[in-house]
């Protein structure tokens, strides 16, 4: 481990001691060595701290009360020493050459943020990605409005750039990655190394992405983005407004079927606030 690391690897975890062990091992066996590892334990109750004691002094372990994955990632970023941040979710894995290949790619192409491609595993089986999941290059904004096309576990980003955009929104229980990449993608170019250097594992019960109402957080994100981003080009604003209206209308159909009246009023209020801008 280098005393002045170029890259700070941040692993948030919550009650995933067996997963996080495998994630850590995939980092510690990287062919690239100019990095530090920060594990932010977001209030685990499964003895994660004791379980990870064998990894000291190769990692920096931080415990915080449960605040969510966004707060855990932001916490790690704040105490990091590297010029670049690399995120790895505790249920995902890196291939051995991930950091080396990606850092070379970023230096050679002068990127301040990039991602790699990934392999998808669900319940132990390989999952084929659909065309709609194809990762965009450079100008990611328009294709990313519908759904998140940047994977946190595949990202390396300059720390200064990360904080320029405020980090992950800690008020969002989900889609915090969608939110950050939309805010950033509206103004920054995001590189993509089209090599499957990350293994993204899914299908376990504690994944927020499996719950009904994922689009609720995309709606909240888009609504805030439209209101708060005053320097947005008109074509980008119009596209965001149209996407927000479309998502509200589709989401309301599901809410009405489920008689979720409090949410119906909330989404209708958002829709009313932007519908006059419909194009």
Q: How far apart are the first and last CA of the chain?
A: 54
Choice among 99-103, 138-142, 186-190, 212-216 with the minimum mean pLDDT: 212-216
The pLDDT of residue 278 is 52
Mean pLDDT, rounded, for 2-7: 81
Mean pLDDT, rounded, for 202-227: 78
Categorize the per-residue pLDDT at 207 as very low, low, confident or very high, splitting at 50, 70 and 90.
Answer: low
CB 9 within 8 A of CB 79: no
User: Would you say residue 2 has pLDDT above 50?
Assistant: no
Instruction: Give every CB contact of residue 263 below 8 A, 6+ residues apart in sequence.
Output: 213, 216, 255
Mean pLDDT, rounded, for 152-171: 97
Whole-structure pTM value: 0.92
The pLDDT of residue 206 is 59
- How far apart CA 33 and CA 255 sit, in angstroms, is 49
- How far apart CA 205 and CA 186 sit, in angstroms, is 33
The pLDDT of residue 66 is 95
Cα dihedral 183, 184, 188, 193 sign: negative
The pLDDT of residue 204 is 63
SS3 of 42, please?
strand
- How far apart CA 135 and CA 143 sit, in angstroms, is 9
- For residue range 77-135, list pLDDT tens digits in order: 999 999 999 999 999 999 999 999 999 999 999 999 999 999 999 888 888 888 889 99
The pLDDT of residue 3 is 63
Spatial CA neighbour of 149 closest among 140, 158, 139: 140
Beta strands 156-158 and 84-87, pairing class: antiparallel
Half-sphere exposure of residue 62: CA atoms within 13 angstroms, side-chain side: 21
CA angle 54, 6, 103 (to 5 degrees): 105
Using CA atoms in the order 103, 108, 111, 116, what is the torsion angle rounded to 10 degrees? -50
What is the gyration radius of the CA atoms in the chain, in angstroms?
19
Distances, alpha carbon 143 to alpha carbons 194, 211, 243, in Å: 17, 23, 11
DSSP 34: S
Spatial CA neighbour of 147 closest among 173, 119, 175: 175
Using CA atoms in the order 95, 36, 78, 179, what is the torsion angle rounded to 10 degrees? -10
The pLDDT of residue 189 is 97
Mean pLDDT, rounded, for 24-33: 96
Mean pLDDT, rounded, for 218-224: 96
b/e for 253-262, b at 16 or more Cβ within 10 A? eebeeeebee
Beta strands 191-202 and 113-122, pairing class: parallel
């Amino acid at each position: 481990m280098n005393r002045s690391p170029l890259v700070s690897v941040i692993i948030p975890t919550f009650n995933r001691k067996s997963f996080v062990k495998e994630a850590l091992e995939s980092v510690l066996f990287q062919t690239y060595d100019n990095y530090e590892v920060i594990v932010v334990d977001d209030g685990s109750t499964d003895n994660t701290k004791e379980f990870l004691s064998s990894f000291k002094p190769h990692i920096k372990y931080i415990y915080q009360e449960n605040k969510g994955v966004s707060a855990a990632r932001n916490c790690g970023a704040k105490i990091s020493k590297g010029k670049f941040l690399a995120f790895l979710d505790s249920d995902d894995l890196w291939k051995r050459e991930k950091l080396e290949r990606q850092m070379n790619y970023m230096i050679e192409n002068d990127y301040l943020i990039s991602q790699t491609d990934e392999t998808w595993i669900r319940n132990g089986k390989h999952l084929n990605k659909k065309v709609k999941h194809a990762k965009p290059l450079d100008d990611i904004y328009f294709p990313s409005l519908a759904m998140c096309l940047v994977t946190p576990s595949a990202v390396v980003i300059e720390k200064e750039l990360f904080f320029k955009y405020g980090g992950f929104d800690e008020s969002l229980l989900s889609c915090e990655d969608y939110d950050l990449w939309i805010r950033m993608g509206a103004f920054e170019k995001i590189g993509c190394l089209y090599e499957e250097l990350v293994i993204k594992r899914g299908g376990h019960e504690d994944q927020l992405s499996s719950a009904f109402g994922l689009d609720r957080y995309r709606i909240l994100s888009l609504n805030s983005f439209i209101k708060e981003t005053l320097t947005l080009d008109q074509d980008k604003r119009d596209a965001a407004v149209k996407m927000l209206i479309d998502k509200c209308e589709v989401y309301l159909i599901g809410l009405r079927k489920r008689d979720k009246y409090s949410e119906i009023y909330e989404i209708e209020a958002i829709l009313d606030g932007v519908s006059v801008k419909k194009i």
